[in-house]
Amino acid sequence: MSDKKIHQLNVRLNHKNFVILEQISKDINQSPSTLGSQIISQWIEFYYYKIHRGDIIFSRQIVRKIISILDKSKIDEVSKFMAKHIINEIRLQEGEVTYAVLAEHILKWNKGNRLHLNKIRHSDDHDDESLDVFISKHNLGCNWSELECKTYTKTFEMVKQNVFSSEYDEDMFCIKVINRNVLQ
């Protein structure tokens, strides 16, 4: 499906919901039509990536609680388990797990769970390699950063990518991956 082709959809709302939609649209300085389009698009993404694939969403408070009770000495073991599970799940959904497929799934999972993970590409025009920087800012603590950083590092290594560096603290994590598959 191409994002360039736009389709019009007329929807009906009861008065109470329309008044709420108008108020929200004023609060965020967007038209009710634009806001309605975003709501429908986000619901479709939610449905496809959560309900269709059977994913579960936890609130930030629950994630924070789970991570806070995680024994720090077990993070390496848990990250290896999670990396293996991620690769196996993507293999079931997609078949072959390439770096591009893995990166796409990781970014979509974070977006679907309202976590902010960005991928920034640094490339050299004279080289077939680039440096992809995955960076996340959050308020989930150091255990979360360490677990996510180590899990994603292991998953990238499992698809034969060279992780140039990884670092984390209580509010962020950053992974730099040498992408040798730029021409994919």
| DSSP state at residue 176 | E
Domain that includes residue 42, residue range: 15-52
Helical spans, DSSP H, in 53-98: 60-68, 75-94
Q: Has residue 61 been placed in a domain?
A: no
Distance from C-alpha of 107 to C-alpha of 102, rounded to nearest angstrom: 9
Residues 125 and 34 in one domain: no
Q: Are 155 and 86 within 8 A, CB to CB?
A: yes
What three-state secondary structure class fits 33? helix
Residues 76 and 20 in one domain: no
pLDDT grade, residue 64 (50/70/90)? confident
Distance from C-alpha of 45 to C-alpha of 152, rounded to nearest angstrom: 23
Distance from C-alpha of 12 to C-alpha of 7, rounded to nearest angstrom: 17
Domain count of the fold of the chain: 2
Residues 79 and 45 in one domain: no
The model's pTM is: 0.67
Amino acid identity of residue 29, one-letter, is N
Residues 19 and 85 in one domain: no
Which residue matches tokens 């449905």? 47
Q: Has residue 114 been placed in a domain?
A: yes
Distance from C-alpha of 8 to C-alpha of 36, rounded to nearest angstrom: 12
* Range with the poorest average pLDDT among 72-81, 91-100, 149-158: 91-100
How high is the mean pLDDT of the chain? 83
Residues 47 and 100 in one domain: no
